[in-house]
Structure 1
Amino acid sequence: MNVFGEEFYKLYEENQQHEFFVDYAIDLGDETFAVVEFLPVNSILNNCYKIAVEKARHTMDEGQNLQIRGQRKKVINQFKGIMAETAIHIYLHRRCDFPLEMIHRWDLERENFVDANNEYDLKITNNGVDYLIESRSSSSYQGGLGRFMQYYDIIGKYSNRRKSNEQVSDMYIRPVFQYVRRIMTQNEYFQAIGNTFADIRNDELKLYLVAVAGKDEMYGMNGYTKNMGQGQTVYQCIRIKDAHDISAVPVIYYKAMKERGLL
């Protein structure tokens, strides 16, 4: 465990009485999805920020769309991704009842942020068997959360000329940063990105965990590839409404373990 991990677990222990999630039900027409809003404490957000600053020092200037990013944008992008992984980490413990010692987050355990070998987002380890979990978040700014979930995807692995060998994970969880009481054009959103920290602090930008898919679903008959307006980058996806709501995380995990003959 690195210094960021030591700090996170200390802060998490100090806030064990805090309720980190609020439940909502989102009507998607054919069915209703259970989603949770993440309610972080400032000290844990500060931990996310420290990790983001360190990671941004060692990440490429090119984003997934292969466009050059400034240092502040790199930090913001890293922060949102780390905040989403933190939410999933706590969700796995608080809502899915996985013991903390079974849950691993690479950013809390890696020796440095230069070497990306064996990189993962999160994993559950049981009796020496790793179950990899991918988190890939984005922001909803053109309407409400229900609209986003109707039309958008859970995002799997991606490939471009810089990254062609990303590993396949066992589970894919969909975090969404939802702007509150604001509808923006794409250009307005690009301008708003610079205010991300203030928007989160002022509850104008909220994080939700909305959906989950197993590996067999992401790469099965309902999975497909798309560009997503990111230049030459191609993503593996499954529509949110073709997957499961966030409450299905333990069901998918234990089903996979049973199929592997481990239960």
Structure 2
Amino acid sequence: MTLRFHKMHGLGNDFVVIDARKGAVALDAARVRALADRRTGIGCDQLILIGPGTETDVTMRIWNGDGSEVQACGNATRCVPVLLGRDCTIETVAGTLHARLADNGATVDMGAPRFDWEALPLAFAMDTRRMPVGWGLLDTPAAVGVGNPHLVFFVDDPYAIDLAAIGPEIETDPLFPERINVNVAGIRSRGEVVMRTWERGAGLTQACGTGACATFAAGRRLGLLDATVRLDLPGGALTLAESDDGHLLMSGPAVHVFSGETSL
């Protein structure tokens, strides 16, 4: 079977996007891993499947490069209106998202963050504002659910942390039954943050949209950040804002790199 795909990225967080609105495409973990392989496949951090919507314009399913399916991906969500060429509503496992074209990319309403331990989930009840746990130099993280579960460690210098070494340990800790995404963030001012992310199932990435949302939400909850901030990631910058109803609005670039065909 010949499969048509699009290669896209948001701040270097790259995707293989398959438009299945006119015909179903059968995917499983093994096929996703094969397509995501950077040496023998197309190569990507995540694979995105766009399908026809019923009460929304489209549906979106998301797999990490290791074949695990996840609930949300902020950078991929920005790619959807760019691919469609119009504003749209998107049905995901995490709920309905609204995305609109803006300034070489898109703005996405990512909904309201969740802070209850059951929603993440954690293995047992714990205050998610400043969790009484630690791994090496990283301790007392905040936990936030933004479709995907995230930990946020506020540190002096995110680039001084060996995230490639400690990220896998935290991701797979028994405290997190569904694994966890790990963010280290440094606050430069109330309006600017620098951040790096270890993504569950993908490892170190150039950018993580849900991680940016989680970091912003954690900073707002702790009273450290203003209602609009610039968030700098290795791949570039996002703008995060909090709406009057408490929703997280994420704005940033999304790029269509090329289209192609491969054998499924």
Structure 2 length normalisation: TM-score?
Answer: 0.28
TM normalised by structure 1 equals: 0.28
Higher share in strand: 2
